[in-house]
Each structure stands twice: as C-alpha cells, then as structure tokens.
Amino acid sequence: MTLALVLEQVLNGLQFGLMLFLMSAGLTLVFGVMGLINLAHGSLYMIGAFCCAAIAGVTGNFWLGLMAGIAAAAAAGALIEVLVIRRLYARDHLDQVLATFALILILSEGVRMIFGPRPLYLNVPDMLRGTVNLGIVDYSLYRLALIGFGLAVALGLWALITRTRLGIQIRAGESDREMIAALGVNIRWLYTVVFALGAALAGLAGALVGAIQSVQVGMGEPVLILAFVVIVIGGIGSIKGAMVGALLVGVIDTMGRFLLPRFFATFLDTSQAMGVGAALASMLIYLLMALVLIFRPKGLFPAHG
C-alpha cells in the first residue's frame, strides 16, 4: 500500500463526495424552503444523465449533452412542481412520501419507455480524457475535473444564496414562509424556482457521473438514499451541513472500501477478508449516521437555531 494509492483513493472520495453534495444541496434546499421530502430527486438525477447521454450521442459533443441534461432536469423539476408537488406542501410527510414514490415509478417507467431497457453509455469528453500527473500519482483528468466542477458549483451556490436577491428570498423562505409571502414575494414562483434549481443540480450530478458509470433506469435511488444520509449527518436544511456531510460520506465510504479488506487481510485469509471487509465497508457511513444521531440528533449543523 503506497502513498500514491492512498492519495488516489482520497481524491476519489472527494470526487464522490462533491457529486453527493450536488444531490444533497437540492434536497436540503427543497426541504428547508418548502418543508417537503422529495423521493423523486433521484429520478431527476436519472433524467439529467439520460438526456446528456442521448444528446451527446447524437451530436458527439459532451458539453451540449451536459447543457441538455441540466435543462431537461430543471424543466422536469419545474413541471413536476407545478403539476404535483405544489399540492403536497400542506400535506403530511406520509402523503409526500407516497406521491413522490409514485413519481419515481412514473418517471422510471417513462424513461424506460422513451430510451428502452438497455443502459446508455456516455463517453468522457475528449479534452478531459487521460490522466494528469500529480507528482506521486497519475490521476484521471476527468475525475479531477469533477472535483473542480463540484467546488465551482458549490461556490456559485454559496454566492447565489448569500449575494443575490433570489438568495435573500430563499433564506427568508427558510426562516418564515408566511412572512415573506405577506411582504409581497411571489411565493409560488419562488417555490417553483427553488425546486427547478434543486432539479438542475441533480441533473448536473447525474450527467457528470453518467460518464464514469453506466446510464440506466434506477441509477438515481442509491444516490438519493446516500444523499439522505448526508442530510441527516449534516443537518436538514443546511447547505453547509450538506457540504460537510457529503465530503465525510464520500471520503469515509471510499476509504472504507479501500482500507477495510486490507485491514482484515492482516489476520484472515484473503477471500474471507474481502467478504468481511466489503460487508463492513458498505455499513460504515450508516454507522457514522447512527453516531451522529446519538450525539447530535439534529445533525452537525442544525439549520434552525
């Protein structure tokens, strides 16, 4: 086990964490502003990936595909908000869970109807192919670009929320919905915009990750559940919490999968160590979540108070 290998895994963890952040940021915004749990967030991730793969396949240009993926996810998000989600804000969480579960079924089958049952493949853009030398390790240029992308979007999101008029309205909506409506902000429009923004972030994540995984129906839900773990750890409604939680989950999960089998191999035989290590590694982030729940039931950065 060399330092180069460890560094590579740390970078992989960061990259994974930043993509999780894109998912979690949208979820936590939607919860913070509208008080809604959206299970169909993973479907928007899937829509972003599929549209990106389809357009990139037709035009041969990854960046056009990426734009299309983001636009499609944002449009789908806005449409869903207007048609369905809007009716759920006043309902209890059970109704929200069920309606958005129904949306998963509809969107997953819908995508299968349009794109067929086979997974699509999305190629890494030419200019980001290959590896880059980081001193002690050659690292995938595309994954490094994902880290840069993730950081840039996080910075943009931070600027949007702290420096713009829309950001003021979002923050005001988080602390008192009725009051900002009374002050003359068009709350319905704000809700649609926030939902579409969250959808666009999910679509962006789906399209970016689609190039290193296969683009298939059902790809969104495992990521969605990880994003839930991130939000529970970070504190629901908190963007900062989502960032810290996402990086923790990304790095711990990646390092666990890398280190635990090697650790068990020091005193078990190899095949057994691989099994035990892999099983434990897959549980690691949930154990982290349990620990956070025991000591900080509202998460590391509770949004309100």
Partner 1 sequence: MDRLRTEWLLNAVLAGALFAVPLWALMAGEPFIITLATRIAILAIAAVGLNIALGLGGMVSFGHALYFGLGGYVAGIAAHHAFHGTPVLGLPGTNQMLPIWAIAMVLSGALAGIVGALSLRTSGIFFIMITLAFAQMGFFFPLSWPAYGGEDGLPIFMRNQFPGLNTARPWDMFLIAYGVLLLTLGLFAMLRAARFGAALMAIRQNPDRAAAIGISPFGIKLVAFILSGMITGLAGAMMADLTRFVSPAMMAWTMSGELIVIIILGGVGRMFGPVAGAAILVGFEVFFGGLTEHWQFWLGLVLLAVVLFARGGLVGLIAGRARNV
User: 1 near 238, Cβ under 8 Å?
Assistant: no
| Identified binder of partner 1 from the candidate list 57, 93, 123, 304, rule CB under 8 A | 93
Does 95 help bind partner 1 (rule: CB under 8 A)? yes
Does 10 help bind partner 1 (rule: CB under 8 A)? no
Does 294 help bind partner 1 (rule: CB under 8 A)? yes
CA distance linking residue 143 with residue 145, whole number of Å: 5
Question: Looking at 45-53, 55-63, 119-127, 225-233, which segment touches partner 1 (CB under 8 A)?
Answer: 225-233
**In this structure, what token pair is assigned to residue 129?**
């192919």
**In this structure, what token pair is assigned to residue 226?**
């990880």
User: 45 near 224, Cβ under 8 Å?
Assistant: yes
Nearest to 121 by CA among 212, 230, 217: 212
Q: Which residues contact 225 (CB under 8 A, 6 or more apart)?
A: none
**In this structure, what token pair is assigned to residue 230?**
């991130």
Smaller CB separation from partner 1, 93 or 304: 93
Question: Looking at 18-26, 58-66, 143-151, 286-294, which segment touches partner 1 (CB under 8 A)?
Answer: 286-294
Minimum CB separation of residue 27 from partner 1 in Å reads 9
CA distance linking residue 242 with residue 107, whole number of Å: 26
Minimum CB separation of residue 84 from partner 1 in Å reads 7
SS3 86: helix
Q: How far is CA 67 from CA 152, 180, 218, in A?
A: 16, 33, 22
Tokens 């979007």, residue located: 153
CA distance linking residue 123 with residue 129, whole number of Å: 9
Minimum CB separation of residue 55 from partner 1 in Å reads 24
| Identified binder of partner 1 from the candidate list 59, 101, 156, 159, rule CB under 8 A | 101
Site for partner 1 in 137-196 (CB under 8 A): none
User: 240 near 19, Cβ under 8 Å?
Assistant: no
Total residues at interface with partner 1 (CB under 8 A) = 43
Site for partner 1 in 27-46 (CB under 8 A): 31, 35, 37
Does 219 help bind partner 1 (rule: CB under 8 A)? no
Pattern of binders to partner 1 over 70-89, x per CB under 8 A?
--------------x--x--
Minimum CB separation of residue 291 from partner 1 in Å reads 10
| Identified binder of partner 1 from the candidate list 70, 104, 157, 303, rule CB under 8 A | 104
| Identified binder of partner 1 from the candidate list 5, 98, 160, 182, rule CB under 8 A | 98
Q: What is the DSSP letter of 119?
A: P
CA distance linking residue 28 with residue 209, whole number of Å: 20
Smaller CB separation from partner 1, 146 or 243: 243
Q: How far is CA 250 from CA 16, 66, 157, in A?
A: 5, 23, 20
Instruction: Specify the amino acid at residue 179.
Output: M
Smaller CB separation from partner 1, 125 or 218: 218
Q: Which residues bind partner 1 (CB under 8 A)?
A: 31, 35, 37, 84, 87, 93-95, 97-99, 101-106, 108-110, 112-113, 221-222, 225, 228-229, 231-232, 236, 275, 278-279, 281-283, 286, 289-290, 293-294, 297-298
